[in-house]
Amino acid sequence: MPNPLLQTDDRGIYCAAGDFHIDPWKPVPRAVVTHAHSDHARPGSQAYLASRTSEPFLRKRLGKSISLQTADFGETVTLNGVRVSLHPAGHIRGSAQVRVEHNGEVWVVTGDYKVRPDPTCTPFELVPCDVLITECTFGLPVYRWPEPEDVAKEINDWWRQNASEGRTSIMFAYALGKAQRVLALLDDSIGPIYTHGAVQQMTQSYREAGVKLPATTYATGKDTSHDYTGGMVIAPTSAGRSNWIRRFSSPSTGFASGWMMLRGTRRRRAGDRGFVLSDHVDWPALMDVIDGTGAERVLLTHGDTAIVTRWLREQGIDARDLETPFARQEEDVAEEA
Ligand SMILES: [Zn+2]
Ligand SMILES: [Zn+2]
């Protein structure tokens, strides 16, 4: 039996025919990268291939001088005779699924993805394939996301209430992707919006790419006398453990993540409010995508793969875990998701 088109080795998902890796966790000669989150885009590879829209973020994460080839969504790049193309994953700006075609067989690696509307990135595209390698970060039937408009209303109501009580709202969100998605949902008639430095940098790149976002002011470390009362501050979770946060008087804190569906996570986070806003697929969307691709075989990664695998097998689908030596810290997952 011939080798499968893609399989894991000690450095990541490897295509032997094309001699490249997808989102490798160790340095490789050629890395195809789905998006600029740090658990997918890792430093040290000799050459990178990624979507054109992800370029500014990858250079921020991996350095200006990396050897990076970019491709438009849908454009085919041939590597050693293997046809590779990138398709929108709808996860964050520039995020891509990787389609690999060789000898009439098509494989798709989803990377992180979501199907819910998000004005800050290109909508997810369903790509038909023979074999699907999908993430299943939220691969349990309990995960069903509320409508983004409803979450937007919850966030704005919370902000308005805090402002009327003379409090400052602080929303913790991952600096790349989630922060900008939250920004796009805010009603800026309520008050001024401030950003932490890490968020400001990434937001600037979104604006330069033409994404419309409400005006924000960078809350620098220098001006400690500014009155932030009634404002909304967007900051990465790590800022909540730093001195930076002390400048805000009587703050009310919120956290935007898919993990907020679980009460235990809410308690552990110790924020005042949790908002269910995820950049990953929920359970029904995961099932729809698997079904929609028409894949004959499904390989699961990132999440409770055993549960999803068993469920799919009961539906008569040839599903298995994609063995990876790589396990993420829960903290990282929570911040990004
Ligand atoms: Zn991601
Ligand atoms: Zn990820």
Give residue 17 CA to ligand 2 midpoint distance, Å.
Answer: 26
Q: Cα separation of 236 and 331, whole Å?
A: 12
Structure tokens at 139: 């691969």
Any domain includes 66: yes
Q: Cα separation of 269 and 118, whole Å?
A: 25
**CB contact set of 126 (below 8 Å; sequence gap of 6+):** 289, 292, 293
Give residue 229 CA to ligand 1 midpoint distance, Å.
Answer: 33
Residue 267 pLDDT greater than 60, yes or no = no
pLDDT digits (tens, 9 = 90+) for 97-124: 999 999 999 999 999 999 999 999 999 9
Q: Which of 250, 275, 300 is the last residue of a domain?
A: 275
Any domain includes 1: no
Give residue 36 CA to ligand 1 midpoint distance, Å.
Answer: 7
- Whether 248 and 203 map to the same domain: the answer is yes
Residue 80 — very low, low, confident or very high, per pLDDT cuts 50/70/90? very high
Q: Which residues have their alpha-adjacent CB atom under 5 A from ion ligand 1?
A: 37, 112
- Whether 124 and 212 map to the same domain: the answer is no
- Whether 23 and 132 map to the same domain: the answer is yes
Give residue 9 CA to ligand 1 midpoint distance, Å.
Answer: 21
Q: What is the DSSP pairing of strand 193-195 with strand 251-256?
A: unpaired
**Contact (Cβ atoms closer than 8 angstroms) between residue 118 and residue 148:** yes
Give residue 61 CA to ligand 2 midpoint distance, Å.
Answer: 15
- Whether 217 and 300 map to the same domain: the answer is no
Any domain includes 134: yes
Q: How many domains does the structure of the chain reveal?
A: 2
Give residue 37 CA to ligand 1 midpoint distance, Å.
Answer: 5
pLDDT, mean of residues 138-159? 96
- Whether 214 and 316 map to the same domain: the answer is no
Spatial CA neighbour of 216 closest among 278, 173, 261: 173
The pLDDT value given to residue 247 = 85
Structural domain including 229 reads 148-275
Q: What percent of the chain has pLDDT over 70?
A: 92
Give residue 103 CA to ligand 1 midpoint distance, Å.
Answer: 30
Longest distance between any two alpha carbons in the chain, whole Å: 70
Q: Which of 245, 275, 305 is the last residue of a domain?
A: 275
The pLDDT value given to residue 335 = 47
Give residue 181 CA to ligand 1 midpoint distance, Å.
Answer: 13
Give residue 112 CA to ligand 1 midpoint distance, Å.
Answer: 5
Q: What CATH number did the domain enclosing 132 receive?
A: 3.60.15.10
Give residue 290 CA to ligand 1 midpoint distance, Å.
Answer: 19
Give residue 293 CA to ligand 2 midpoint distance, Å.
Answer: 21
- Whether 139 and 153 map to the same domain: the answer is no
Give residue 216 CA to ligand 2 midpoint distance, Å.
Answer: 27
- Whether 12 and 47 map to the same domain: the answer is yes
Ligand nearest to the CA of 89: 1
Ligand nearest to the CA of 96: 1
- Whether 67 and 30 map to the same domain: the answer is yes
Any domain includes 11: yes
Q: Cα separation of 109 and 98, whole Å?
A: 5
pLDDT digits (tens, 9 = 90+) for 46-72: 999 999 999 999 999 999 999 999 999
Give residue 70 CA to ligand 1 midpoint distance, Å.
Answer: 19
- Other beta carbons within 10 angstroms of residue 283's beta carbon come to 18
Q: Report the first-to-last Cα separation within the chain, whole angstroms.
A: 38
Q: What percent of the chain has pLDDT over 90?
A: 82
Any domain includes 78: yes
What is the H or E stretch that residue 210 is in? none
Residue 264 pLDDT greater than 80, yes or no = no
Any domain includes 241: yes
Q: What CATH number did the domain enclosing 252 receive?
A: 3.40.50.10890
Backbone angles phi and psi of 70, in degrees to 5: -115, 155
- Whether 205 and 302 map to the same domain: the answer is no
The pLDDT value given to residue 226 = 87
Give residue 116 CA to ligand 2 midpoint distance, Å.
Answer: 17
The pLDDT value given to residue 104 = 96
Any domain includes 2: no
pLDDT, mean of residues 123-130? 98
Q: Which of 235, 260, 275 is the last residue of a domain?
A: 275
- Whether 163 and 114 map to the same domain: the answer is no
Give residue 302 CA to ligand 2 midpoint distance, Å.
Answer: 8
Residue 189 — very low, low, confident or very high, per pLDDT cuts 50/70/90? very high
- Whether 162 and 261 map to the same domain: the answer is yes
Residue 334 — very low, low, confident or very high, per pLDDT cuts 50/70/90? very low
Residue 295 pLDDT greater than 50, yes or no = yes
Residue 330 pLDDT greater than 50, yes or no = no
Give residue 134 CA to ligand 1 midpoint distance, Å.
Answer: 13
- Whether 218 and 153 map to the same domain: the answer is yes
Any domain includes 309: yes
pLDDT digits (tens, 9 = 90+) for 303-329: 889 999 999 999 999 999 997 665 544
